[in-house]
Amino acid sequence: MTGAPTVDTVIEIKRQVTAMLERAGFPLRTFAANNMDIIDDVPLDDREKIINLDDTDYIKTLGLRWSPSTDDFFFCYNGPPVSRKTTKRSILSQIAALFDPLGLLNPLIVSGKILMQQLWEPKLDWDESVPQDIYTQWRAFQDHLCLINNIQIPRYVPINNTTEIHAFADASTRAYGACIYLVTRMEKETSSALLCAKSRVAPTKQVSLPRLELCAALLLAELLQSVVAIFSPNLNNIHCWTDSLIALC
């Protein structure tokens, strides 16, 4: 998956990558684009089949769904598999099925991570029924999973010479995380977009909240470093935020 500022640039990327892999015996296929001019020369058999569901067209890409017509990413949860009992194996299987490489679902994913951590504490067998308290938490979590079907994230994030990076870090006693927004000022409006996020569960061994706040700041620094490396030297206006005075000091 890639993109470029102009259609001609994307066409040239497609031409070069296709030729390079063709020489190695790897013919590319299942092309898709949000502008049909890009794949106008691609035979129909080599284009990705577009699925239409509930008046929304989409293709599956890297575990996500992408609508070429609206240029949005969205997610899908098909419901739990038919199972007689809730076990460690069945819970971990469903949580692992939530593929979210950019961290756009992190508020949801981190709840699943915390639940996974709790599953290891009782030292259950893989196919043993989970305790009642974990089962209750899992059912409540599961009931909300279907709501991710309503989330749509625009793929395109506008960037120009005014674009600012605003990066946030925070922690609780259960988990800590970081997220990065791009803010771009245009002639008539200002655009703010979540670019990526990351979270981690706090260790089972008790750790002080100030230390977890520092862990969150470190996580943010590492995430920010990877983002700046991609956009540099175009983005230099960077602001990092935390509400922890200890972490700031």
pLDDT single digits (tens) 26-49: 999 999 999 999 999 999 999 988
Rg (CA), the chain: 22
Region 165-169: mean pLDDT is: 96
Cα separation of 117 and 95, whole Å? 12
The phi and psi torsions of 109 (rounded to 5 degrees) equal -60, -40
- Neighbouring C-beta atoms of residue 223, cutoff 10 Å: 21
Give the β-pairing of 175-185 and 56-61: unpaired
CA angle at 16 for the pair 11 and 18, rounded to the nearest 5°:
90
Q: What's the chain's length in residues? A: 249
Predicted confidence at residue 162, as pLDDT, reads 87
Backbone conformation region of residue 9, classed left if phi is above 0, alpha if psi is from -120 to 50, else beta: alpha
CA distance 170 to 244: 8
Are 68 and 34 a contacting pair, CB within 8 Å? yes
Asked if 87 and 138 count as a contact pair (C-beta separation under 8 A), the reply is no
Q: Write the DSSP assignment of 45-75 as a string of letters.
A: GGBPPPEEETTEEEEEETTEEEETTTTEEE-
Q: Does the pLDDT at position 232 exceed 70?
A: no
| pLDDT given at position 50 | 85
Q: Name every residue whose Cβ is closer than 8 Å to that of residue 156 and which is 6 or more positions away in sequence.
A: 3, 71
Q: Answer yes or no: are the C-beta atoms of 147 and 105 closer than 8 Å.
A: no
Which pLDDT band holds residue 63 (cuts at 50, 70, 90)?
Answer: low
Q: What is the rounded CA–CA span in Å between residue 144 and residue 122? A: 25
**What's the whole-number mean pLDDT along residues 11-35?**
94
Q: Evaluate if residue 81 carries a pLDDT over 80.
A: no
Question: Which residue blocks in 76-191 are alpha helix, DSSP H?
Answer: 88-96, 106-120, 132-145
- In whole angstroms, what is the distance from residue 40 CA to residue 37 CA? 5
pLDDT in tens, 82-108: 666 888 888 888 888 888 888 999 888
Q: Are the C-beta atoms of residues 71 and 153 closer than 8 Å to each other?
A: no
